[in-house]
Every structure is written in structure tokens, then in C-alpha cells.
């Protein structure tokens, strides 16, 4: 949707409130109260057929009486009256409307019909709808409050670098409150509810384009429009906007992963996970984590590297933080040897390596501690400084002395992100924050957030925009079941490496072809009806002569015919026998939400028992493919263990990327593609898809 429409929704010059109430606690009264109290500078048109004034403001009897078409209409009327209200908005020429009422699609079939009716009414005149069943929006910069959320009942929220985009109004309110509690300002807040029209992706697309936004907290149960969603994620990366996502529905995956079929292995949750990873979005496991990371992003500058210096008065706290840091991907790099000596001279009892433990003795001589920390920061080259203060700052006098010491000690290290962990009353925490410190109560939460900063930065440099792809030409895929030979012909054209193969018709003599290919050979049954060849004796290995090939062909055809009398047999396929290499599995399936998804895993038990597979949505480049390969638990097997050669990971990455481009172009023509196994040979020796199955698009219902 065009950006200007969302401008009307989130940055309106005029607002109509349909169902305006004199009672500021009611759904029709609260938005009016907010708009009045906040000091919104646009025009406000309360609509109420029964009153001349509402909350002291001039009210209009109906929409038709408004002096002009407002940029946005807030619909605070019951579900049953909404369709009519939408019609009137449309007639008035209003561009956007926010529908608060519940009782639509979420409430069953009748509600669903009513929602559709409302949407049809809006569409007739290009009126765009947010909701229904949503809590609305706010823009704290312009003091525009198009919401009845009680979260603003006590206090408004200061504008700031965080924005919130949430399908759930309750969740959106909850995290808005948590942000306020943490001292985080919120610029834009959008709840999308039933998403009959404007959805999360639309909102994200607009929000990540606003220059004030550094981080978006998003919440979704599902995604309606893949392309717009991906577009928003890509734009966020270009604009250096971090997205911290809470996507619920993780627990489904357990059940879905039970099947070993490519598509079922995914489960939409695993695909969602992959998409977020692919586009550098952090998926939070808890709401607290979401807030903790957002807090770090709002205060962090450019992240150059992942070196963390830990300063502590207590060895145990230091070790605890080092433990967490390793898990979060931070480098607890030791101080240079010479600098360690300097620290030792200042404080003989100190442990100067990193964590740097100044011991409680440092607290008895704060000027010395100042020099000590200055030396640590000057010589340590740390991106992150984490000072562990424990419950020290609970004492107000001590809190001040300590703050001044850390301020002085860290002032010459502007490129280092200065973090502290402490328990202290909120007002003391604020004092530290005002001096530029990030303050966390829990060390593990701090470290996790710093790890997220590093991941966000890495993702920014790694992701390639989908517009950069030069997608391949389209190949026609037959819209019927194919045998392996036919599937491979298509995949070869697409650039997937396969062995030379010759198809021998049922009545043809195989010996000439066999001699041409050379020995030993593998023979496989060619039949679109038999995707599982081993089950019908449709594979013979290690055929060493023309005679063996002839005998094998006759036996195979006879045997398969007996076991699968109704199968159409196209003959047999001859191909050279290849030894060595590591078996991997590559597949593509069409995900309901995200379209073609490429899966990769090692063969056998790795997939079947350990579910050790990974996903990317198509298309993606070589770098993403390499990241994908490195993600599986068994990656070390490809790097070479027990003195083995490393596998040809470059060629494997090329195959995955090539297949992803093919899948992107032909998504409408197949349900799934399986390359199982793909043999990965030693470094520089390439990869080979040994078997291939393309399941064409099933007929649409």
C-alpha cells in the first residue's frame, strides 16, 4: 500500500471519532480524552447523534455533517453498527479508518461474513481499514492517540527510538508499559488485530521508514503477505532499523517435525525462524528479552567487533558473566600481557586478565580504581565494557561516589559501549543512565543483549537484498508426475550438477549405452509412479559388464512389474557408479506462508533422528547458503573429522543457491523437489545430485 495512506493513519492532520462518548473511561471516550490531554494539534471531530458537546468539545450528529473528510476515522461503535459507519466514512471520502470493535472474524462464521461485508464497503471507495478487533495506534511525536488502550490511563509515553507493531493489542499494550517502565520512549505504536485490510507487514513497512526509529518490537501469530513482509525486513536492514520479533506458536513444531518428509520437517515455525535469521531479525524467546535487547539497541552506536571487557569486584560474578558471554558469541579477550603488568602494579591483588577482577579492595581507593579502569579501557580495545556493581548502588551515598568514579574512568573511551549491572532503586538507575551507562539488573540479560547487537551488525553486512538477484530464465516443468530421468533433465538445465545418465526404453538393448558410460554402473528403474525405488527392487549397484547390465535390466523390469503391476515403467536409467563423498539431503517445498523454502541436512540419522536440518526461503545467495550449511549441528562432518579431507562446501553452497533461484522462478509449478542424496565430494571435487524427484504443483481445488 502507498506510504501516504499510512501517513494519514499515523500522522493525521484531522481525526473523526465515530461513537464519541462523554465518559472518558469508555471505548468511545478514552481516545477523545487522550487527544485532548496530550495536546494533539490536529483537528478533532467527535461524532455523536445524541449530544451537542462531548467532553466539552463540539460534536457532530453524523459523518455527513463534518466540515471536511478527516484523514482518519476512529470507529468506536459496536460491531453491528460498524458496517454502516464504514459506508458513511467511505461516502464522506475519508481515506483510513480504525475499527476497534471485536465480534468479527475472530468470533465465528457470522462475524466473518460481517467483516467481509465491511471490507467490501470500504473497498468500493478506496477506504483502507485497520482492524477490526484492534486497539488502534499512536504517534507519540505528534501526540496523536488513536487508541483506547488503558496503558495510557495514568501516563502518556515519551516519544523515542522504539516503535511497536503488534497483531495483539493486549501484547502491544503490555510491552508499551514495559518500555515506559524501563525508560524507553516509543515513537509509533500500531496494533493490527484481525487485519482485514492493513496488516503487520504494511505497518512494518511504514514504521521502518521513519527516521526516528532505531528499533521495532514486533509481535505476530502469522504472516499474511510474504512479499510485503520480506520487503519490510529488507528495508529495515537498509535503514539500520533493528527488529526484535516475538512470534508465538513455537510448540507446534514438535508434532510437525515427527514426520521425516521434507515438507513436514519444516513446520511453519521452523520456516519463520529461518526467515527471521535470513533477514537479520532477532527472534526473542521472552518478552523480557525483547525489552532488554531494544534497550541496548537504542543506546548503542556502531558495533565494530565483539570484544567484551568485564570489570568486577568479585571473581564469581566475573566468571558467571564470562560463561554467559561465551554462549552469546562475545569474545572475552584477555588484556595484552604488558597491560596486565600495569594493572598488577596499580593493584597487586587484582586478576588482570579478563574478567578483570579488582577485588573489593579497589572500593577503598576510588582514585586508584579510576586509573585502573582507564588502563583497562585504553589497552584492552574492547567494544563493550561491562562493570559489575552488584547491590553496591542500593546505598544512595555510595551510588553517587561509584557513579562519579565510573564516569571519570570511562570518559576517554567514547567508542566503547559502557554497561553496568546493578540492583538499585529506579531513580539511581536513571542517574547512571543519564551519564551514558546502560544499566541491567541481571548480567545474563545484559550479555544476551550485547550478543544480539553483534548479531544484528553481522546480519547487516551479510544479507543481500532480493532485488539484487538476477533470476534464471523460466524452464517449462511438465505438470504431471515425472520419472527421475526427466526430473534430472530439468535440474541439469537449471545448473544442478548430476552424473551423465542414459534412459533405456523397456525394449531397447542397454549394452551400447553401458559401454559408452563405462563400468561399474548403477541401474535404476525409470517410472513416475515409483518414487521409492529401493522398495520395489528398482536399484542395482556395481554392474561391471555389458552382460551384467543386460541381465540386470531384464530382471529388474520383470521384478518391478511383479511388485508394482499398475506402475507405468519407462525403462531403466544407466549412470556411472560413484564412490566416496558425504551424503546430504537437499529439498524444496512450498510453504503456505513463505512460498518456496529450501531445506538442507546431512543424510540418514541426522535428519531422521536428530532433525538436524535448516531452512532458507528462496532465492538466496552463496553467502546465505554457507551460513545455512554452517548452522547444522553436524557441520563438523563436512569440515572433516578424524583426519578426513574437508568437503566441497563451496560447491554445496553454489548448488543450494542455484536451486533456490530455480525454486523462486518456478514456485507456481511444483509442490516439492527432493535431491536425496546430494553427494558432497572432497574440497574442489564438487557435488552431485544422485537422485531427484520433482512433484509438480497439485491441482488447485
Q: Bridge partners of 75? A: 18, 99
User: Residue 385 carries which DSSP code?
Assistant: E
4, 23 contact by CB (below 8 A): no
By the rule CB under 8 A, 78 interacts with a copy of itself: no
**Site track for a copy of itself across 579-618, x = CB under 8 A:** --------------------------x--xxx--------
Q: Which stretch binds a copy of itself (CB under 8 A): 115-123, 161-169, 490-498, 506-514?
A: 161-169
Contacts (CB under 8 A) with a copy of itself, residues 180-199: 181
| Cβ 585 to a copy of itself shortest distance, Å | 15
Contacts (CB under 8 A) with a copy of itself, residues 337-366: 348-349, 359-361
What is the C-alpha radius of gyration for the chain, rounded to an integer number of angstroms? 32
Q: Which stretch binds a copy of itself (CB under 8 A): 113-121, 309-317, 366-374, 482-490?
A: 309-317
527, 506 contact by CB (below 8 A): no
Contacts (CB under 8 A) with a copy of itself, residues 518-537: none
Residue with the three cell numbers 564469581? 316
| Tally of CB atoms within 10 A around 392 | 17
How many Cα neighbours within 13 Å face the side chain of 143? 14
| Cβ 102 to a copy of itself shortest distance, Å | 7
Task: Report the alpha-carbon distance of residue 677 to residue 375 in Å, rounded.
Answer: 57
| Cβ 173 to a copy of itself shortest distance, Å | 6
| Cβ 591 to a copy of itself shortest distance, Å | 19
> Residue 12's closest CA among 105, 141, 142?
142
Residue with the three cell numbers 495512506? 5
- Give the nearer residue to a copy of itself in terms of CB position, either 106 or 671: 106
By the rule CB under 8 A, 31 interacts with a copy of itself: no
| Cβ 701 to a copy of itself shortest distance, Å | 27
Contacts (CB under 8 A) with a copy of itself, residues 456-515: none
Q: Which stretch binds a copy of itself (CB under 8 A): 98-106, 570-578, 666-674, 677-685?
A: 98-106
- Give the nearer residue to a copy of itself in terms of CB position, either 228 or 633: 633
- Give the nearer residue to a copy of itself in terms of CB position, either 61 or 360: 360
By the rule CB under 8 A, 102 interacts with a copy of itself: yes
By the rule CB under 8 A, 167 interacts with a copy of itself: yes
DSSP run (H or E) holding 110: helix 109-123
Pairing of strands 384-390, 308-312: parallel
Contacts (CB under 8 A) with a copy of itself, residues 220-239: 221
Helices (H), 182-306: 200-207, 226-238, 252-256, 262-278, 287-299
494, 692 contact by CB (below 8 A): no
Q: Which stretch binds a copy of itself (CB under 8 A): 87-95, 435-443, 512-520, 592-600?
A: 435-443
**Total binding residues for a copy of itself by CB under 8 A?**
72
**Using CB under 8 A, which of 49, 56, 93, 249 touches a copy of itself?**
249
By the rule CB under 8 A, 271 interacts with a copy of itself: no
Q: Which stretch binds a copy of itself (CB under 8 A): 114-122, 245-253, 368-376, 563-571?
A: 245-253
By the rule CB under 8 A, 323 interacts with a copy of itself: yes
Cα distances from 630 to residues 173, 601, 650, 685, in angstroms, run: 38, 10, 12, 19
Sign of the dihedral defined by the CA atoms of residues 63, 66, 69, 71, in that order: negative
| Cβ 16 to a copy of itself shortest distance, Å | 24
What are the φ and ψ backbone dihedral angles of 247, each rounded to 5 degrees?
A: -115, 120
**Using CB under 8 A, which of 64, 81, 170, 505 touches a copy of itself?**
170
- Give the nearer residue to a copy of itself in terms of CB position, either 296 or 498: 296
Task: Report the alpha-carbon distance of residue 99 to residue 8 in Å, rounded.
Answer: 15
> What's the per-residue H, E or C state across 580-607?
CCEEEEEEEEEECCCEEEEEEEECCHHH
**Using CB under 8 A, which of 120, 126, 239, 288 touches a copy of itself?**
288
Contacts (CB under 8 A) with a copy of itself, residues 124-153: 150-151, 153
Cell numbers for 180, please give them: 515506559
Helix, strand or coil, per DSSP, at residue 642: coil
> Residue 72's closest CA among 164, 2, 140, 7?
7
What's the length of the chain? 701
**Using CB under 8 A, which of 24, 42, 390, 472 touches a copy of itself?**
390
- Give the nearer residue to a copy of itself in terms of CB position, either 177 or 226: 177
Q: Which stretch binds a copy of itself (CB under 8 A): 37-45, 281-289, 500-508, 613-621?
A: 281-289
443, 317 contact by CB (below 8 A): yes
Sequence-ordered list of residues with C-beta below 8 angstroms from that of 445, at least 6 positions apart, any chain: 288, 289, 292
Task: Report the alpha-carbon distance of residue 83 to residue 68 in Å, rounded.
Answer: 21
| Cβ 502 to a copy of itself shortest distance, Å | 32
Exposed, middle or buried by CB within 10 Å (0-12, 13-18, 19+), for 246?
A: buried
| Cβ 148 to a copy of itself shortest distance, Å | 11
What are the φ and ψ backbone dihedral angles of 541, each rounded to 5 degrees?
A: -105, 160
**Using CB under 8 A, which of 47, 325, 523, 552 touches a copy of itself?**
325
Contacts (CB under 8 A) with a copy of itself, residues 626-685: 633-634, 636-637, 641-642
Q: Which stretch binds a copy of itself (CB under 8 A): 250-258, 299-307, 487-495, 650-658?
A: 250-258
| Tally of CB atoms within 10 A around 564 | 18
| Tally of CB atoms within 10 A around 151 | 22
**Using CB under 8 A, which of 14, 173, 237, 590 touches a copy of itself?**
173
| Cβ 316 to a copy of itself shortest distance, Å | 4
DSSP run (H or E) holding 97: strand 96-99
- Give the nearer residue to a copy of itself in terms of CB position, either 42 or 392: 392
DSSP secondary structure of 1-56: --HHHHHHHHS-SEEEEET--S-TTSTTTHHHHHHHHHT--SEEEEE-TT-SEETT
**Using CB under 8 A, which of 37, 124, 304, 326 touches a copy of itself?**
326
**Using CB under 8 A, which of 19, 146, 169, 387 touches a copy of itself?**
169
487, 650 contact by CB (below 8 A): no
User: Residue 60 carries which DSSP code?
Assistant: B
**Using CB under 8 A, which of 322, 368, 546, 567 touches a copy of itself?**
322
| Cβ 166 to a copy of itself shortest distance, Å | 8
- Give the nearer residue to a copy of itself in terms of CB position, either 145 or 662: 145
By the rule CB under 8 A, 316 interacts with a copy of itself: yes
Q: Which stretch binds a copy of itself (CB under 8 A): 246-254, 335-343, 588-596, 613-621?
A: 246-254
- Give the nearer residue to a copy of itself in terms of CB position, either 243 or 502: 243
Amino acid at each position: 500500500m502507498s506510504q501516504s495512506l499510512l501517513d494519514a493513519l499515523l500522522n493525521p492532520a484531522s481525526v473523526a471519532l465515530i461513537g464519541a462518548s462523554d465518559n472518558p473511561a469508555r471505548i468511545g471516550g478514552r481516545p477523545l480524552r487522550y487527544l485532548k490531554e496530550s495536546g494533539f494539534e490536529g483537528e478533532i471531530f467527535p461524532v455523536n447523534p445524541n449530544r451537542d458537546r462531548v467532553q466539552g468539545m463540539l460534536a457532530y450528529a453524523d459523518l455527513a455533517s463534518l466540515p471536511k473528510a478527516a484523514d482518519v476515522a476512529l470507529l468506536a461503535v459496536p460491531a453491528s453498527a460498524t458496517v454502516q459507519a464504514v459506508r458513511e466514512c467511505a461516502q464522506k471520502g475519508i481515506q483510513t479508518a480504525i475499527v476497534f470493535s471485536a465480534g468479527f472474524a475472530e468470533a465465528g462464521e457470522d462475524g466473518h461474513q460481517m467483516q467481509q461485508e465491511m471490507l467490501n464497503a470500504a473497498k468500493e471507495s478506496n477506504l483502507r481499514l485497520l482492524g477490526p478487533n484492534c486497539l488502534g495506534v499512536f504517534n507519540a511525536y505528534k501526540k496523536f492517540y488513536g487508541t483506547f488502550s488503558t496503558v495510557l490511563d495514568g501516563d502518556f509515553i515519551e516519544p523515542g527510538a522504539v516503535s511497536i507493531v503488534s497483531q495483539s493489542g493486549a501484547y502491544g499494550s503490555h510491552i508499551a508499559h514495559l518500555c515506559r517502565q524501563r525508560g524507553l520512549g516509543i515513537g509509533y505504536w500500531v496494533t493490527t488485530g484481525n487485519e482485514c485490510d492493513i496488516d503487520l507487514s504494511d505497518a512494518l513497512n511504514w514504521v521502518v521508514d521513519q527516521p526516528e526509529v532505531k528499533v521495532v518490537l514486533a509481535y505476530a501469530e502469522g504472516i499474511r503477505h510474504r512479499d510485503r513482509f520480506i520487503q519490510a525486513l529488507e528495508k529495515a536492514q537498509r535503514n539500520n532499523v533493528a527488529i526484535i520479533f516475538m512470534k508465538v506458536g513455537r510448540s507446534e513444531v514438535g508434532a510437525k517435525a515427527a514426520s521425516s518428509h521434507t515438507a513436514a520437517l519444516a513446520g511453519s515455525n521452523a520456516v519463520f525462524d529461518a526467515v527471521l535469521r535470513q533477514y537479520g531479525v532477532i527472534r526473542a524467546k521472552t518478552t523480557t528479552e525483547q525489552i532488554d535487547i531494544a534497550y541496548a539497541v537504542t543506546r548503542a552506536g556502531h558495533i565494530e567487533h565483539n570484544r567484551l571487557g568485564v570489570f568486577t569486584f568479585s571473581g564469581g560474578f566475573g566468571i558467571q558473566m564470562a560463561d554467559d558471554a561465551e554462549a552469546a558469541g562475545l569474545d572475552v579477550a584477555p588484556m595484552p600481557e604488558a597491560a596486565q603488568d600495569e594493572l598488577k602494579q596499580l593493584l597487586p591483588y587484582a586478576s588482570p586478565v579478563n574478567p578483570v577482577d579488582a577485588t573489593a579492595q579497589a572500593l577503598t581507593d576510588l582514585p586508584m580504581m579510576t586509573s585502573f579502569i582507564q588502563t583497562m579501557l585504553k589497552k584492552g580495545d574492547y567494544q563493550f565494557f561491562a562493570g559489575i556493581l552488584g547491590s553496591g548502588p542500593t546505598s544512595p551515598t555510595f551510588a553517587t561516589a561509584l557513579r562519579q568514579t565510573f564516569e571519570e574512568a570511562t570518559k576517554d573511551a567514547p567508542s566503547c559501549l559502557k554497561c553496568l549491572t546493578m540492583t538499585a532503586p529506579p531513580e539511581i538507575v536513571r542517574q547512571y543512565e543519564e551519564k551514558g551507562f546502560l544499566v541491567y539488573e541481571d548480567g545474563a540479560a545484559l550479555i544476551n543483549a550485547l550478543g544480539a547487537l553483534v548479531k544484528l551488525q553481522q546480519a547487516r553486512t551479510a544479507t543481500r537484498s532480493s532485488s539484487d538477484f538476477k533470476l534464471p530464465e523460466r524452464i517449462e516443468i511438465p505438470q504431471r508426475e515425472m520419472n527421475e530421468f526427466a526430473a534430472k533433465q530439468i535440474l541439469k538445465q537449471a545448473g544442478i550438477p548430476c552424473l551423465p545418465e542414459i534412459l533405456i526404453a523397456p525394449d531397447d538393448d542397454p549394452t551400447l549405452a553401458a559401454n559408452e558410460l563405462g563400468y561399474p554402473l548403477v541401474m535404476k528403474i525409470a517410472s513416475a509412479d515409483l518414487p521409492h525405488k529401493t522398495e520395489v527392487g528398482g536399484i542395482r549397484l556395481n554392474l561391471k559388464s555389458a552382460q551384467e547390465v543386460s541381465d540386470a535390466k531384464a530382471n529388474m523390469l520383470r521384478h518391478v512389474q511383479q511388485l508394482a503391476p499398475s506402475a507405468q515403467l519407462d525403462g531403466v536409467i544407466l549412470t556411472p557408479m560413484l564412490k566416496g563423498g558425504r551424503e546430504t539431503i537437499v529439498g524444496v517445498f512450498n510453504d503456505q506462508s513463505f512460498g518456496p523454502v529450501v531445506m538442507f541436512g546431512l543424510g540418514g540419522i541426522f535428519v531422521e533422528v536428530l532433525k538436524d536440518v535448516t531452512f532458507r526461503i528462496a532465492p538466496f545467495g552463496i553467502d546465505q547458503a554457507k551460513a545455512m550449511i554452517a548452522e547444522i549441528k553436524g557441520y563438523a562432518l563436512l569440515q572433516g573429522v578424524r583426519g578426513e579431507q574437508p568437503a566441497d562446501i563451496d560447491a554445496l553452497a553454489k548448488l543450494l543457491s542455484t536451486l533456490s533461484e530455480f525454486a523462486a522462478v518456478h514456485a507456481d509449478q511444483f509442490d516439492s523437489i527432493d535431491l536425496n542424496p546430494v553427494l558432497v565430494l572432497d574440497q574442489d571435487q564438487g557435488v552431485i545430485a544422485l537422485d531427484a524427484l520433482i512433484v509438480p504443483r497439485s491441482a488447485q481445488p
